[in-house]
Amino acid sequence: MNDVNRQVTQARRRLNLYSFMHVLSWALFAGLIVAAIGLLVPKVWYLSFLETQDHHDAWTAGWLIGGCALSLIVAGLLSIRKFVDTSTAAIEVDKRFGLKERLSSALSIDDGTAETEVGQALLKDADRSAEVIDVRDKFRFERLKDLALPLIPIAILFAITFLPNAVFDKEAAASDATVEVENVKKAVKEMQKKIEKQRKSLEAAGLKDALAKLDSLKRKFDGLEPENMPDKKQALVELNDIKKEIEERQKELGGSKDLRESLNKLKDVGNGPAKKVAEAMSKGDMKMAAKAVKELAEKLKSGKMSEAEKKKLANDIKQLAKEFQKIQQQHKAKKEQLKKDIKKAMEQGDPNKAAKLQAKLDEMEKQQRQMDKMKKMAQKMQDCANCMKQGGGKKQQKNGQPQNGKKGEQGQAQQQQDLEDAAKGLEDLAKEMEQMEEELKEMEALEDLEKAIGEAKGGMNGKESDKPQWSKNAKGKGKGAGEREREEDKTGKYKSRVKGQLQKGQTVVTGDADGNNISGRSTSEVREIVRQSMSDKADPLENQVLPKSQRDHAKEYFEKLRGN
Protein backbone atom coordinates (compact mmCIF):
# COMPACT_ATOMS: atom_id res chain seq x y z
CA MET A 1 0.00 0.00 0.00
CA ASN A 2 2.96 2.34 0.42
CA ASP A 3 3.54 2.47 -3.31
CA VAL A 4 -0.14 3.02 -3.96
CA ASN A 5 -0.35 5.92 -1.49
CA ARG A 6 2.86 7.45 -2.80
CA GLN A 7 1.75 7.39 -6.42
CA VAL A 8 -1.76 8.67 -5.65
CA THR A 9 -0.41 11.47 -3.43
CA GLN A 10 2.00 12.57 -6.14
CA ALA A 11 -0.77 12.54 -8.72
CA ARG A 12 -3.09 14.51 -6.45
CA ARG A 13 -0.39 17.10 -5.82
CA ARG A 14 0.19 17.55 -9.55
CA LEU A 15 -3.53 17.81 -10.30
CA ASN A 16 -4.06 20.51 -7.67
CA LEU A 17 -0.97 22.42 -8.77
CA TYR A 18 -2.11 22.24 -12.39
CA SER A 19 -5.55 23.58 -11.42
CA PHE A 20 -4.01 26.42 -9.37
CA MET A 21 -1.67 27.47 -12.18
CA HIS A 22 -4.54 27.47 -14.68
CA VAL A 23 -6.73 29.67 -12.47
CA LEU A 24 -3.80 31.91 -11.48
CA SER A 25 -2.97 32.72 -15.10
CA TRP A 26 -6.48 34.04 -15.76
CA ALA A 27 -6.63 35.81 -12.38
CA LEU A 28 -3.30 37.55 -13.05
CA PHE A 29 -4.52 38.54 -16.49
CA ALA A 30 -7.63 40.22 -15.02
CA GLY A 31 -5.79 41.74 -12.03
CA LEU A 32 -3.05 43.29 -14.15
CA ILE A 33 -5.63 44.69 -16.59
CA VAL A 34 -7.28 46.45 -13.64
CA ALA A 35 -3.88 47.74 -12.51
CA ALA A 36 -3.21 49.02 -16.03
CA ILE A 37 -6.47 50.96 -15.96
CA GLY A 38 -5.50 52.46 -12.60
CA LEU A 39 -2.11 53.55 -13.93
CA LEU A 40 -3.69 54.97 -17.08
CA VAL A 41 -6.03 57.31 -15.16
CA PRO A 42 -3.38 59.95 -14.23
CA LYS A 43 -2.11 59.82 -17.82
CA VAL A 44 -5.52 60.97 -19.10
CA TRP A 45 -6.86 63.17 -16.27
CA TYR A 46 -4.92 65.49 -14.04
CA LEU A 47 -4.93 64.42 -10.37
CA SER A 48 -3.76 67.11 -7.99
CA PHE A 49 -2.60 64.67 -5.27
CA LEU A 50 -0.05 63.06 -7.65
CA GLU A 51 2.08 66.16 -8.20
CA THR A 52 5.13 64.83 -6.30
CA GLN A 53 7.22 61.87 -7.47
CA ASP A 54 6.77 60.04 -4.16
CA HIS A 55 3.00 60.17 -4.47
CA HIS A 56 3.18 59.00 -8.07
CA ASP A 57 5.45 56.06 -7.13
CA ALA A 58 3.12 55.12 -4.29
CA TRP A 59 0.17 55.24 -6.69
CA THR A 60 1.97 52.94 -9.17
CA ALA A 61 3.14 50.48 -6.52
CA GLY A 62 -0.30 50.39 -4.92
CA TRP A 63 -2.04 49.42 -8.12
CA LEU A 64 0.59 46.81 -9.08
CA ILE A 65 0.76 45.19 -5.64
CA GLY A 66 -2.99 45.39 -5.22
CA GLY A 67 -3.65 43.78 -8.60
CA CYS A 68 -1.22 40.91 -7.95
CA ALA A 69 -2.45 40.34 -4.39
CA LEU A 70 -6.06 40.31 -5.53
CA SER A 71 -5.18 37.82 -8.27
CA LEU A 72 -3.49 35.47 -5.79
CA ILE A 73 -6.44 35.62 -3.40
CA VAL A 74 -8.96 34.93 -6.14
CA ALA A 75 -6.85 32.09 -7.56
CA GLY A 76 -6.47 30.52 -4.11
CA LEU A 77 -10.19 30.65 -3.37
CA LEU A 78 -11.15 29.18 -6.73
CA SER A 79 -8.50 26.43 -6.41
CA ILE A 80 -9.84 25.44 -3.00
CA ARG A 81 -13.27 24.99 -4.54
CA LYS A 82 -11.76 22.70 -7.22
CA PHE A 83 -9.50 20.80 -4.77
CA VAL A 84 -8.87 17.16 -5.85
CA ASP A 85 -9.17 14.54 -3.07
CA THR A 86 -7.36 11.17 -2.79
CA SER A 87 -10.12 9.00 -4.25
CA THR A 88 -10.49 11.27 -7.28
CA ALA A 89 -6.73 11.25 -7.83
CA ALA A 90 -6.67 7.42 -7.63
CA ILE A 91 -9.42 7.12 -10.22
CA GLU A 92 -7.51 9.51 -12.49
CA VAL A 93 -4.32 7.41 -12.14
CA ASP A 94 -6.24 4.22 -13.01
CA LYS A 95 -7.77 5.93 -16.01
CA ARG A 96 -4.55 7.36 -17.44
CA PHE A 97 -2.45 4.19 -16.90
CA GLY A 98 -5.20 1.68 -17.77
CA LEU A 99 -5.02 -0.08 -14.37
CA LYS A 100 -8.70 -1.05 -14.44
CA GLU A 101 -9.50 0.58 -11.08
CA ARG A 102 -6.86 -1.36 -9.16
CA LEU A 103 -5.57 1.62 -7.14
CA SER A 104 -8.98 3.18 -6.47
CA SER A 105 -10.35 -0.21 -5.37
CA ALA A 106 -7.42 -0.76 -3.02
CA LEU A 107 -7.88 2.64 -1.40
CA SER A 108 -11.61 2.25 -1.01
CA ILE A 109 -11.50 -1.20 0.65
CA ASP A 110 -12.39 -1.23 4.35
CA ASP A 111 -10.25 -2.73 7.13
CA GLY A 112 -12.38 -5.82 7.57
CA THR A 113 -12.22 -6.82 3.93
CA ALA A 114 -8.49 -6.05 3.80
CA GLU A 115 -7.81 -8.81 6.38
CA THR A 116 -9.44 -11.47 4.22
CA GLU A 117 -7.63 -13.49 1.56
CA VAL A 118 -9.51 -11.69 -1.20
CA GLY A 119 -8.58 -8.31 0.25
CA GLN A 120 -4.92 -9.23 0.61
CA ALA A 121 -4.82 -10.42 -2.97
CA LEU A 122 -6.39 -7.14 -4.13
CA LEU A 123 -3.85 -5.06 -2.18
CA LYS A 124 -0.88 -7.06 -3.48
CA ASP A 125 -2.15 -6.68 -7.04
CA ALA A 126 -2.46 -2.91 -6.55
CA ASP A 127 1.07 -2.68 -5.10
CA ARG A 128 2.54 -4.57 -8.07
CA SER A 129 0.74 -2.22 -10.46
CA ALA A 130 1.93 0.89 -8.59
CA GLU A 131 5.57 -0.26 -8.60
CA VAL A 132 5.88 -0.26 -12.37
CA ILE A 133 4.34 3.17 -13.14
CA ASP A 134 5.79 6.68 -13.03
CA VAL A 135 3.18 9.40 -12.39
CA ARG A 136 5.29 12.02 -14.14
CA ASP A 137 4.78 10.24 -17.46
CA LYS A 138 1.04 10.88 -17.58
CA PHE A 139 0.72 13.99 -15.36
CA ARG A 140 2.84 16.56 -17.17
CA PHE A 141 2.58 20.40 -17.24
CA GLU A 142 3.28 20.77 -20.92
CA ARG A 143 -0.36 21.75 -21.66
CA LEU A 144 -0.27 24.90 -19.48
CA LYS A 145 -0.43 27.37 -22.36
CA ASP A 146 -2.53 29.79 -20.27
CA LEU A 147 0.60 30.89 -18.40
CA ALA A 148 1.36 33.24 -21.29
CA LEU A 149 -1.83 35.27 -20.67
CA PRO A 150 -0.31 37.62 -18.03
CA LEU A 151 2.34 38.67 -20.54
CA ILE A 152 -0.28 40.75 -22.39
CA PRO A 153 -1.14 43.13 -19.49
CA ILE A 154 2.55 43.19 -18.49
CA ALA A 155 3.38 44.56 -21.94
CA ILE A 156 0.58 47.10 -21.61
CA LEU A 157 1.88 48.18 -18.18
CA PHE A 158 5.37 48.56 -19.59
CA ALA A 159 4.04 50.81 -22.38
CA ILE A 160 2.00 52.92 -19.93
CA THR A 161 5.11 53.75 -17.90
CA PHE A 162 6.50 55.68 -20.89
CA LEU A 163 3.40 57.91 -21.14
CA PRO A 164 3.62 61.33 -19.44
CA ASN A 165 1.13 62.34 -16.77
CA ALA A 166 -1.66 64.76 -17.62
CA VAL A 167 -0.74 68.42 -17.02
CA PHE A 168 -2.95 70.88 -15.17
CA ASP A 169 -4.60 73.23 -17.69
CA LYS A 170 -4.35 76.59 -15.93
CA GLU A 171 -6.01 78.54 -18.72
CA ALA A 172 -9.05 76.23 -18.83
CA ALA A 173 -9.31 76.24 -15.04
CA ALA A 174 -9.09 80.01 -14.95
CA SER A 175 -11.73 80.24 -17.68
CA ASP A 176 -14.07 77.91 -15.79
CA ALA A 177 -13.51 79.84 -12.56
CA THR A 178 -14.25 83.12 -14.34
CA VAL A 179 -17.46 81.74 -15.82
CA GLU A 180 -18.48 80.40 -12.41
CA VAL A 181 -17.89 83.77 -10.72
CA GLU A 182 -19.84 85.53 -13.48
CA ASN A 183 -22.74 83.11 -13.02
CA VAL A 184 -22.79 83.73 -9.27
CA LYS A 185 -22.57 87.48 -9.76
CA LYS A 186 -25.36 87.51 -12.32
CA ALA A 187 -27.64 85.30 -10.19
CA VAL A 188 -27.10 87.40 -7.08
CA LYS A 189 -27.72 90.60 -9.04
CA GLU A 190 -31.05 89.30 -10.36
CA MET A 191 -31.98 88.22 -6.86
CA GLN A 192 -31.19 91.64 -5.43
CA LYS A 193 -33.36 93.31 -8.08
CA LYS A 194 -36.34 91.18 -7.12
CA ILE A 195 -35.80 91.81 -3.42
CA GLU A 196 -35.58 95.54 -4.04
CA LYS A 197 -38.82 95.39 -6.03
CA GLN A 198 -40.56 93.61 -3.17
CA ARG A 199 -39.07 96.07 -0.71
CA LYS A 200 -40.45 99.07 -2.60
CA SER A 201 -43.86 97.42 -2.76
CA LEU A 202 -43.94 96.85 1.00
CA GLU A 203 -42.58 100.33 1.68
CA ALA A 204 -45.28 101.91 -0.49
CA ALA A 205 -47.92 99.94 1.41
CA GLY A 206 -46.51 101.15 4.74
CA LEU A 207 -45.97 97.62 6.08
CA LYS A 208 -43.11 98.20 8.50
CA ASP A 209 -42.98 94.75 10.13
CA ALA A 210 -42.90 92.88 6.82
CA LEU A 211 -40.33 95.39 5.53
CA ALA A 212 -38.08 94.72 8.53
CA LYS A 213 -38.17 90.96 7.94
CA LEU A 214 -37.43 91.46 4.25
CA ASP A 215 -34.46 93.70 5.09
CA SER A 216 -32.96 90.92 7.23
CA LEU A 217 -33.20 88.56 4.25
CA LYS A 218 -31.74 91.23 1.97
CA ARG A 219 -28.65 91.50 4.16
CA LYS A 220 -28.08 87.76 3.81
CA PHE A 221 -28.40 87.99 0.03
CA ASP A 222 -25.90 90.87 -0.01
CA GLY A 223 -23.42 88.51 1.66
CA LEU A 224 -23.56 86.26 -1.42
CA GLU A 225 -21.58 88.71 -3.54
CA PRO A 226 -18.62 87.00 -5.30
CA GLU A 227 -16.24 89.37 -3.48
CA ASN A 228 -17.49 88.01 -0.14
CA MET A 229 -18.20 84.42 -1.23
CA PRO A 230 -16.40 83.37 -4.44
CA ASP A 231 -17.11 79.67 -3.91
CA LYS A 232 -20.24 78.57 -5.75
CA LYS A 233 -20.83 75.61 -3.44
CA GLN A 234 -20.78 77.84 -0.38
CA ALA A 235 -23.17 80.26 -2.08
CA LEU A 236 -25.58 77.40 -2.83
CA VAL A 237 -25.41 76.28 0.80
CA GLU A 238 -26.25 79.81 1.95
CA LEU A 239 -29.16 79.93 -0.51
CA ASN A 240 -30.51 76.67 0.91
CA ASP A 241 -30.28 78.09 4.43
CA ILE A 242 -32.19 81.21 3.35
CA LYS A 243 -34.79 79.04 1.64
CA LYS A 244 -35.28 77.02 4.84
CA GLU A 245 -35.76 80.26 6.78
CA ILE A 246 -38.38 81.39 4.26
CA GLU A 247 -40.17 78.04 4.50
CA GLU A 248 -40.28 78.29 8.30
CA ARG A 249 -41.83 81.74 8.04
CA GLN A 250 -44.32 80.44 5.48
CA LYS A 251 -45.38 77.75 7.92
CA GLU A 252 -46.17 80.47 10.44
CA LEU A 253 -48.12 82.66 8.01
CA GLY A 254 -49.76 80.06 5.76
CA GLY A 255 -50.45 80.31 2.04
CA SER A 256 -51.73 83.54 0.51
CA LYS A 257 -53.37 81.74 -2.40
CA ASP A 258 -55.59 79.55 -0.21
CA LEU A 259 -56.53 82.48 2.02
CA ARG A 260 -57.55 84.64 -0.93
CA GLU A 261 -59.66 81.79 -2.30
CA SER A 262 -61.44 81.57 1.03
CA LEU A 263 -62.03 85.34 1.16
CA ASN A 264 -63.42 85.28 -2.38
CA LYS A 265 -66.59 83.72 -0.95
CA LEU A 266 -67.46 87.08 0.67
CA LYS A 267 -68.22 88.89 -2.61
CA ASP A 268 -72.01 88.31 -2.38
CA VAL A 269 -72.34 89.15 1.32
CA GLY A 270 -74.26 92.27 2.44
CA ASN A 271 -76.35 94.92 0.68
CA GLY A 272 -75.95 97.79 3.14
CA PRO A 273 -73.14 100.06 4.32
CA ALA A 274 -70.75 97.09 4.76
CA LYS A 275 -71.04 96.06 1.09
CA LYS A 276 -67.85 97.93 0.27
CA VAL A 277 -66.04 96.09 3.09
CA ALA A 278 -67.16 92.68 1.80
CA GLU A 279 -66.13 93.47 -1.79
CA ALA A 280 -62.67 94.64 -0.72
CA MET A 281 -62.15 91.54 1.41
CA SER A 282 -63.32 89.24 -1.41
CA LYS A 283 -60.60 90.75 -3.63
CA GLY A 284 -57.99 90.23 -0.90
CA ASP A 285 -57.50 93.98 -0.49
CA MET A 286 -57.51 94.08 3.29
CA LYS A 287 -56.10 97.60 3.29
CA MET A 288 -59.14 98.92 1.41
CA ALA A 289 -61.42 96.89 3.68
CA ALA A 290 -59.77 98.36 6.78
CA LYS A 291 -60.20 101.88 5.35
CA ALA A 292 -63.90 101.24 4.71
CA VAL A 293 -64.35 99.91 8.26
CA LYS A 294 -62.66 103.02 9.70
CA GLU A 295 -65.03 105.23 7.70
CA LEU A 296 -68.01 103.32 9.08
CA ALA A 297 -66.65 103.63 12.63
CA GLU A 298 -66.13 107.38 12.22
CA LYS A 299 -69.59 107.81 10.76
CA LEU A 300 -71.08 105.80 13.60
CA LYS A 301 -69.24 107.81 16.28
CA SER A 302 -70.19 111.16 14.79
CA GLY A 303 -73.87 110.21 14.68
CA LYS A 304 -74.17 110.75 10.90
CA MET A 305 -75.68 107.29 10.40
CA SER A 306 -79.44 106.91 10.41
CA GLU A 307 -81.30 104.21 12.29
CA ALA A 308 -82.04 102.36 9.06
CA GLU A 309 -78.37 102.42 8.06
CA LYS A 310 -77.38 101.21 11.53
CA LYS A 311 -79.78 98.32 11.20
CA LYS A 312 -78.46 97.40 7.74
CA LEU A 313 -74.88 97.73 8.96
CA ALA A 314 -75.59 95.41 11.88
CA ASN A 315 -77.12 92.85 9.53
CA ASP A 316 -74.21 93.09 7.09
CA ILE A 317 -71.62 92.67 9.83
CA LYS A 318 -73.55 89.74 11.24
CA GLN A 319 -73.57 88.08 7.81
CA LEU A 320 -69.83 88.66 7.48
CA ALA A 321 -69.31 87.08 10.89
CA LYS A 322 -71.36 84.05 9.83
CA GLU A 323 -69.35 83.68 6.62
CA PHE A 324 -66.09 83.88 8.58
CA GLN A 325 -67.36 81.22 10.96
CA LYS A 326 -68.48 79.10 8.00
CA ILE A 327 -65.03 79.33 6.38
CA GLN A 328 -63.38 78.36 9.65
CA GLN A 329 -65.74 75.41 10.17
CA GLN A 330 -65.23 74.18 6.59
CA HIS A 331 -61.49 74.32 7.11
CA LYS A 332 -61.82 72.29 10.31
CA ALA A 333 -64.12 69.74 8.61
CA LYS A 334 -61.65 69.29 5.72
CA LYS A 335 -58.84 68.64 8.19
CA GLU A 336 -60.88 66.01 10.02
CA GLN A 337 -61.83 64.34 6.74
CA LEU A 338 -58.19 64.27 5.63
CA LYS A 339 -57.20 62.60 8.91
CA LYS A 340 -59.86 59.93 8.37
CA ASP A 341 -58.73 59.39 4.77
CA ILE A 342 -55.10 59.02 5.89
CA LYS A 343 -56.09 56.43 8.49
CA LYS A 344 -58.18 54.54 5.93
CA ALA A 345 -55.35 54.56 3.37
CA MET A 346 -52.92 53.16 5.94
CA GLU A 347 -55.39 50.41 6.87
CA GLN A 348 -55.74 49.50 3.17
CA GLY A 349 -51.97 49.26 2.80
CA ASP A 350 -51.59 52.26 0.45
CA PRO A 351 -48.72 54.36 1.87
CA ASN A 352 -48.35 56.45 -1.31
CA LYS A 353 -51.91 57.73 -1.06
CA ALA A 354 -51.46 58.33 2.66
CA ALA A 355 -48.32 60.40 1.98
CA LYS A 356 -50.15 62.59 -0.57
CA LEU A 357 -53.03 63.15 1.85
CA GLN A 358 -50.56 63.97 4.63
CA ALA A 359 -48.97 66.63 2.40
CA LYS A 360 -52.40 68.21 1.89
CA LEU A 361 -53.01 68.09 5.64
CA ASP A 362 -49.68 69.83 6.26
CA GLU A 363 -50.67 72.59 3.84
CA MET A 364 -53.95 73.06 5.70
CA GLU A 365 -52.10 73.15 9.03
CA LYS A 366 -50.13 76.11 7.68
CA GLN A 367 -53.42 78.02 7.28
CA GLN A 368 -54.41 77.47 10.92
CA ARG A 369 -52.97 80.84 11.98
CA GLN A 370 -55.16 82.67 9.46
CA MET A 371 -58.19 80.60 10.44
CA ASP A 372 -57.70 81.56 14.08
CA LYS A 373 -57.44 85.20 13.06
CA MET A 374 -60.66 84.93 11.03
CA LYS A 375 -62.39 83.32 14.01
CA LYS A 376 -61.28 86.22 16.19
CA MET A 377 -62.51 88.74 13.61
CA ALA A 378 -65.84 86.93 13.38
CA GLN A 379 -66.29 87.24 17.14
CA LYS A 380 -65.53 90.96 17.02
CA MET A 381 -68.00 91.42 14.16
CA GLN A 382 -70.65 89.61 16.17
CA ASP A 383 -69.98 91.84 19.18
CA CYS A 384 -70.22 94.97 17.01
CA ALA A 385 -73.52 93.80 15.54
CA ASN A 386 -74.92 93.18 19.02
CA CYS A 387 -73.80 96.60 20.24
CA MET A 388 -75.44 98.35 17.27
CA LYS A 389 -78.70 96.48 17.82
CA GLN A 390 -78.72 97.48 21.46
CA GLY A 391 -77.71 101.07 20.79
CA GLY A 392 -79.95 101.71 17.79
CA GLY A 393 -82.83 99.40 18.56
CA LYS A 394 -84.19 100.94 21.83
CA LYS A 395 -87.23 102.99 21.28
CA GLN A 396 -87.44 106.41 22.77
CA GLN A 397 -91.16 106.26 22.79
CA LYS A 398 -93.50 104.00 24.63
CA ASN A 399 -97.11 103.72 23.56
CA GLY A 400 -96.63 106.79 21.41
CA GLN A 401 -95.40 108.91 24.33
CA PRO A 402 -91.82 110.09 24.77
CA GLN A 403 -89.93 108.94 27.82
CA ASN A 404 -89.13 111.83 30.14
CA GLY A 405 -87.19 112.18 33.28
CA LYS A 406 -84.31 110.25 34.71
CA LYS A 407 -85.11 106.94 32.96
CA GLY A 408 -85.06 108.62 29.58
CA GLU A 409 -81.67 110.15 30.22
CA GLN A 410 -80.27 106.79 31.38
CA GLY A 411 -81.58 105.11 28.23
CA GLN A 412 -79.98 107.70 25.99
CA ALA A 413 -76.67 107.36 27.85
CA GLN A 414 -76.76 103.58 27.50
CA GLN A 415 -77.59 103.89 23.80
CA GLN A 416 -74.68 106.25 23.26
CA GLN A 417 -72.34 103.91 25.14
CA ASP A 418 -73.41 100.96 22.97
CA LEU A 419 -72.76 102.95 19.82
CA GLU A 420 -69.33 103.95 21.10
CA ASP A 421 -68.58 100.29 21.88
CA ALA A 422 -69.67 99.34 18.38
CA ALA A 423 -67.44 102.05 16.89
CA LYS A 424 -64.51 100.90 19.01
CA GLY A 425 -65.13 97.31 17.90
CA LEU A 426 -65.06 98.43 14.26
CA GLU A 427 -61.76 100.23 14.87
CA ASP A 428 -60.29 97.07 16.41
CA LEU A 429 -61.60 95.14 13.43
CA ALA A 430 -59.86 97.58 11.10
CA LYS A 431 -56.58 96.99 12.95
CA GLU A 432 -57.01 93.23 12.53
CA MET A 433 -57.59 93.74 8.81
CA GLU A 434 -54.49 95.90 8.51
CA GLN A 435 -52.45 93.20 10.23
CA MET A 436 -53.92 90.57 7.90
CA GLU A 437 -53.07 92.78 4.91
CA GLU A 438 -49.49 93.01 6.13
CA GLU A 439 -49.27 89.24 6.51
CA LEU A 440 -50.79 88.71 3.06
CA LYS A 441 -48.21 91.00 1.50
CA GLU A 442 -45.45 89.24 3.39
CA MET A 443 -46.76 85.86 2.19
CA GLU A 444 -46.70 87.01 -1.43
CA ALA A 445 -43.20 88.44 -1.01
CA LEU A 446 -41.94 85.18 0.50
CA GLU A 447 -43.49 83.14 -2.31
CA ASP A 448 -41.81 85.36 -4.90
CA LEU A 449 -38.50 85.11 -3.06
CA GLU A 450 -38.73 81.32 -2.90
CA LYS A 451 -39.27 81.18 -6.65
CA ALA A 452 -36.41 83.63 -7.20
CA ILE A 453 -34.09 81.47 -5.09
CA GLY A 454 -34.76 78.53 -7.41
CA GLU A 455 -33.92 80.69 -10.41
CA ALA A 456 -30.77 81.97 -8.69
CA LYS A 457 -29.57 78.44 -7.98
CA GLY A 458 -30.12 77.58 -11.63
CA GLY A 459 -28.19 80.68 -12.67
CA MET A 460 -25.25 79.75 -10.47
CA ASN A 461 -25.14 76.34 -12.15
CA GLY A 462 -24.91 77.98 -15.56
CA LYS A 463 -28.59 77.83 -16.52
CA GLU A 464 -30.84 80.55 -17.75
CA SER A 465 -34.46 79.89 -18.65
CA ASP A 466 -33.79 76.17 -18.15
CA LYS A 467 -31.12 76.22 -20.91
CA PRO A 468 -27.49 75.33 -20.08
CA GLN A 469 -24.79 77.88 -20.74
CA TRP A 470 -21.59 76.02 -21.57
CA SER A 471 -18.21 77.56 -20.88
CA LYS A 472 -16.57 75.85 -23.89
CA ASN A 473 -17.64 75.12 -27.43
CA ALA A 474 -18.42 71.52 -28.27
CA LYS A 475 -15.88 69.54 -30.28
CA GLY A 476 -16.55 67.82 -33.58
CA LYS A 477 -19.37 68.19 -36.09
CA GLY A 478 -22.83 69.23 -35.01
CA LYS A 479 -25.75 71.55 -35.64
CA GLY A 480 -25.27 75.26 -35.24
CA ALA A 481 -27.21 77.58 -32.98
CA GLY A 482 -29.73 80.29 -33.82
CA GLU A 483 -33.18 80.47 -35.41
CA ARG A 484 -33.77 78.12 -38.32
CA GLU A 485 -36.42 76.00 -39.97
CA ARG A 486 -37.53 73.01 -37.96
CA GLU A 487 -35.93 69.80 -39.18
CA GLU A 488 -37.63 66.46 -38.76
CA ASP A 489 -35.00 64.07 -37.47
CA LYS A 490 -35.39 60.32 -37.48
CA THR A 491 -35.46 59.00 -33.98
CA GLY A 492 -35.37 55.51 -32.59
CA LYS A 493 -38.60 54.32 -31.04
CA TYR A 494 -39.23 51.56 -28.62
CA LYS A 495 -42.18 50.24 -26.70
CA SER A 496 -41.96 49.26 -23.10
CA ARG A 497 -44.36 47.63 -20.77
CA VAL A 498 -44.06 48.24 -17.06
CA LYS A 499 -46.08 45.96 -14.86
CA GLY A 500 -47.64 47.63 -11.87
CA GLN A 501 -47.08 46.31 -8.39
CA LEU A 502 -50.20 44.63 -7.09
CA GLN A 503 -51.33 45.69 -3.64
CA LYS A 504 -53.13 43.59 -1.10
CA GLY A 505 -56.87 43.65 -1.72
CA GLN A 506 -60.03 42.35 -0.13
CA THR A 507 -60.97 38.66 -0.26
CA VAL A 508 -64.00 38.18 -2.52
CA VAL A 509 -66.01 34.94 -2.23
CA THR A 510 -67.63 34.18 -5.60
CA GLY A 511 -69.02 30.70 -4.86
CA ASP A 512 -68.23 27.09 -3.96
CA ALA A 513 -66.22 24.60 -6.03
CA ASP A 514 -67.68 21.19 -6.93
CA GLY A 515 -66.09 17.87 -5.98
CA ASN A 516 -64.41 16.39 -2.94
CA ASN A 517 -61.54 18.02 -1.12
CA ILE A 518 -58.43 15.88 -1.78
CA SER A 519 -55.20 16.80 -0.05
CA GLY A 520 -52.10 16.38 -2.18
CA ARG A 521 -48.57 15.54 -1.17
CA SER A 522 -46.53 18.39 0.19
CA THR A 523 -43.03 19.24 -0.98
CA SER A 524 -41.48 17.85 2.20
CA GLU A 525 -43.25 14.48 1.75
CA VAL A 526 -42.02 14.15 -1.86
CA ARG A 527 -38.50 15.08 -0.78
CA GLU A 528 -38.54 12.39 1.93
CA ILE A 529 -39.73 9.72 -0.56
CA VAL A 530 -36.92 10.60 -2.99
CA ARG A 531 -34.34 10.54 -0.18
CA GLN A 532 -35.44 7.08 0.97
CA SER A 533 -35.39 5.70 -2.57
CA MET A 534 -31.85 6.97 -3.07
CA SER A 535 -30.65 5.46 0.21
CA ASP A 536 -32.07 1.97 -0.51
CA LYS A 537 -29.45 -0.59 -1.49
CA ALA A 538 -29.59 -1.85 -5.07
CA ASP A 539 -30.64 -5.45 -5.60
CA PRO A 540 -27.82 -7.74 -6.79
CA LEU A 541 -27.92 -8.83 -10.40
CA GLU A 542 -27.36 -12.56 -10.84
CA ASN A 543 -27.39 -12.97 -14.63
CA GLN A 544 -25.40 -10.09 -16.11
CA VAL A 545 -23.17 -10.44 -19.19
CA LEU A 546 -19.86 -8.58 -18.71
CA PRO A 547 -17.94 -6.94 -21.56
CA LYS A 548 -14.88 -8.80 -22.85
CA SER A 549 -12.37 -6.51 -21.11
CA GLN A 550 -14.12 -6.93 -17.78
CA ARG A 551 -14.45 -10.71 -18.31
CA ASP A 552 -10.71 -10.98 -18.90
CA HIS A 553 -10.00 -8.91 -15.81
CA ALA A 554 -12.33 -11.02 -13.67
CA LYS A 555 -10.91 -14.26 -15.08
CA GLU A 556 -7.35 -13.13 -14.33
CA TYR A 557 -8.34 -12.13 -10.83
CA PHE A 558 -9.98 -15.47 -9.97
CA GLU A 559 -7.13 -17.46 -11.48
CA LYS A 560 -4.64 -15.62 -9.27
CA LEU A 561 -6.96 -16.15 -6.33
CA ARG A 562 -6.99 -19.93 -6.95
CA GLY A 563 -3.22 -19.95 -7.21
CA ASN A 564 -3.05 -20.97 -10.89
According to the model, what pLDDT value does residue 393 have? 46
According to the model, what pLDDT value does residue 229 have? 54
According to the model, what pLDDT value does residue 473 have? 47
Q: Within this chain, do residues 149 and 195 fall inside the same structural domain, yes or no?
A: no
Residue 526: inside a domain, yes or no?
no
User: pTM of the entire structure?
Assistant: 0.39
Residue 403: inside a domain, yes or no?
no
Number of domain units in the chain: 2
Q: Within this chain, do residues 146 and 187 fall inside the same structural domain, yes or no?
A: no
Q: Within this chain, do residues 188 and 269 fall inside the same structural domain, yes or no?
A: yes
Tally the C-alpha atoms within 13 A of residue 302's C-alpha that lie toward its C-beta.
Answer: 8
Q: Within this chain, do residues 231 and 348 fall inside the same structural domain, yes or no?
A: yes
According to the model, what pLDDT value does residue 309 have? 75
Burial, 420: exposed, middle or buried (Cβ in 10 Å; 0-12, 13-18, 19+)?
middle
Q: Within this chain, do residues 349 and 222 fall inside the same structural domain, yes or no?
A: yes
Select from 127, 160, 193 the last residue of a domain: 160
Q: Within this chain, do residues 446 and 301 fall inside the same structural domain, yes or no?
A: yes
CB 462 within 8 A of CB 179: yes
Q: Within this chain, do residues 142 and 61 fall inside the same structural domain, yes or no?
A: yes
Q: Within this chain, do residues 150 and 263 fall inside the same structural domain, yes or no?
A: no
Residue 542: inside a domain, yes or no?
no
Residue 207: inside a domain, yes or no?
yes
Q: Within this chain, do residues 153 and 198 fall inside the same structural domain, yes or no?
A: no
Residue 169: inside a domain, yes or no?
no
According to the model, what pLDDT value does residue 342 have? 87
Residue 478: inside a domain, yes or no?
no
- Count of beta carbons in the 10 Å neighbourhood of residue 345: 18
Residue 404: inside a domain, yes or no?
no
Residue 23's alpha-carbon distances to 75, 76, 141, 459, in angstroms, are: 5, 8, 14, 55
Owning domain of residue 359: 178-394+411-465
According to the model, what pLDDT value does residue 400 have? 43
Rounded mean pLDDT for each run of 10 residues along the chain, 564 residues in total: 74 83 89 91 83 84 91 89 81 79 76 76 76 75 72 89 76 57 70 74 69 72 60 71 74 62 67 71 72 74 73 76 79 86 84 83 74 74 69 44 50 62 69 71 73 69 48 49 57 62 69 62 62 56 69 84 74
Residue 252: inside a domain, yes or no?
yes
Q: Within this chain, do residues 206 and 81 fall inside the same structural domain, yes or no?
A: no
According to the model, what pLDDT value does residue 350 have? 80
Contacts of 22 (CB under 8 A, 6+ apart): 144, 146
According to the model, what pLDDT value does residue 65 have? 92
- Region of residue 515 (left: phi > 0; alpha: psi -120 to 50; beta: else): left
> What is the DSSP track for 364-406?
HHHTHHHHHHHHHHHHHHHHHHHHHHHHHH--SEETTEE--HH
Q: Within this chain, do residues 153 and 261 fall inside the same structural domain, yes or no?
A: no
274-283 CB contacts, 8 Å cutoff, 24+ apart: 274/313, 274/316, 274/317, 274/320, 275/316, 277/316, 277/320, 278/316, 278/320, 281/320, 281/433
According to the model, what pLDDT value does residue 472 have? 45
Q: Within this chain, do residues 192 and 95 fall inside the same structural domain, yes or no?
A: no
Query: Which residue, among 98, 104, 133, has the nearest Cα to 549 in the 3D structure?
Result: 98
